[in-house]
Every structure is written in structure tokens, then in C-alpha cells.
Amino acid sequence: MIGIIDYGMGNLYSVSKALERLNYDYIISADPAELRKAKGLILPGVGAFKDAMEQLNQTKLTDFIKEEVEKGMPLLGICLGMQLLFEESDENGVTKGLELLKGRVERIPGITAEGQTYKVPHMGWNSLDFHQQSALLDGISTGHVYFVHSYYVKTNDQDVLLATSPYDVEVPAVVGKEHVFGTQFHPEKSSAIGMQMLQNYANFVEKRSPSYEQI
């Protein structure tokens, strides 16, 4: 079973429906005691980084997420949820994130080095460039996925970059380290490729349970 973390800022319906299509059991909860019954967690997110962290802090979910990840609980962040995995964001003032991965979140510039402007937010289908193998990417080697975001992750830790997407800046599209993963795009809205990633995550969760031993 996967626990979908409900902190008031996630697209719970689309994520839960995607898991239903995969015939995978899930719970939606803001209660750490309930979420601890899950074998893996999904952190969805829509909105502003600062607001999201305030909600996580107020509901005591920040400490819960960090503690469970430290124990080895698999975690998948989606869209804003992926950004929250990193150290900080400059959206609406500098705000500390979950600090599970190294990097910071900044606004997509919207202007090229030559001074030409381009659309922000980055919205619609875009291609993926794959950089390294991962359990999350099993059976996936090409394709397009669906993005909606105005901020992106900048990181010097190349080891966490599983796939990127070109949008003048190089957008980290899929990140991962050990049992922590994230997608900047919405896999539940990204057709067969996105569903394959969710299936891969569910498979990863099952392989690690119940003791969370490294695989």
C-alpha cells in the first residue's frame, strides 16, 4: 500500500485515480500514524513552495517525512512535491525545504542569454533526456511528459539527475537518490510513460517492503 500525503496542497484525485488504474492499494491521509502503515509514500503538490512548507510544518508532516525516509521508507515527490525534496526555494522569499536532496529551487528566467523572452510557466508536453539508469525508469527510454511549473531545481549534484527536459534552461525532470525520487512533471497526466513510472515506483516499493532493506 502507498500512502498519499494530504497536506492541503496536492492533486490527490488524479494521483489516487492513477493508482486505482494500476490496481494498487493506497490511502490518503494527513495522519502520520495512518501513513506509517504504508510501504511507500507519495508527496504531491500544486501551488507555492513557501505555502506548502508552512502546511507541512503546521501539520507536523515535515518531521514525519524526514524520519520515515531516514528509516528507508520510499518517497516519490510530484511537481511541487519534487521541489520540496530539495534544500530551499526563493519563491516568495527564501524558504527551507525538506533537505532530502541537494539543490535549490529558482524561477525559470523567461529570457535567454541573447535577451529573447520565452513563456513562463513551462506548460505542456516536452521531451525527456535520460542521464542514468534507475528503478523509476525501467522500460522507459524515450517519450514526452506533461509539465506545468514556473520554478525549477538547480543542483550541482549530478548524481540525482535521472532525466532532464530542455526549456532554454535544463529542467531536472526526474530526480532520484537511493529510495527518494521526484518528477517535475505530472506522471498521472503523462499517458503511458507516466503510468509506467508510477508502476515502476510501486514495484520498487514492493521490493523494499517490509523491512526497507536496500536493493
Q: What is the pTM of this model?
A: 0.95
How confident is the model over 82-107, as a mean pLDDT? 97
Spatial contact of 58 and 95, defined as CB atoms under 8 Å apart: no
The identity of residue 76, as a single letter, is L
d(CA 104, CA 83): 8
- pLDDT at 11 (0 to 100): 83
d(CA 194, CA 183): 10
For 42, the grid coordinates are 507519495
Q: Clarify whether 188 is annotated catalytic.
A: yes
Range 56-94 burial, b when 16+ CB lie within 10 A, else e: beebebbebbeebbeeebbbbbbbbbbbbbbbbbebeee
What is the per-residue pLDDT across 153-201, written as a single tens digit (0 to 9) for each? 999 999 999 999 999 999 999 999 999 999 999 999 999 999 999 999 9
Query: Looking at 131, 170, 186, 206, which residue is catalytic?
Result: 186
Give percent above pLDDT 90 in the chain. 93
Indicate which residue of 34, 70, 79, 170 is catalytic.
Answer: 79
Question: ∠ at Cα 12 (90, 37), nearest 5°?
Answer: 100
Which among 68, 122, 179, 188 is annotated as catalytic? Answer: 188
Q: Is position 186 annotated as part of the catalytic site? A: yes
The residue-averaged pLDDT of 120-147 equals: 95
| Nearest partner of 42 among 19, 23, 71, 72, judged by Cα | 19
Question: Above 80 in pLDDT, residue 211?
Answer: no
pLDDT score recorded for residue 214: 39
Cα–Cα distance for residue pair 80/149, rounded to 1 Å: 8
User: Average pLDDT of the chain?
Assistant: 94
pLDDT at 215 exceeding the cut of 80: no
Q: How far apart are CA 179 and CA 35, in angstroms?
A: 17
pLDDT higher at 15 or 211: 15
Residue 77 has pLDDT above 80, yes or no: yes
pLDDT in tens, 27-63: 999 999 999 999 999 999 999 999 999 999 999 999 9
What value does the mean pLDDT take over residues 95-110? 97
pLDDT the model gives residue 210:
58
Q: For 4-13, 102-111, 177-186, 191-200, which range has the lowest pLDDT when averaged over its residues?
A: 4-13
Contact 180, 101 (CB under 8 A): yes
Q: How far apart are alpha carbons 155 and 92 in whole angstroms?
A: 20
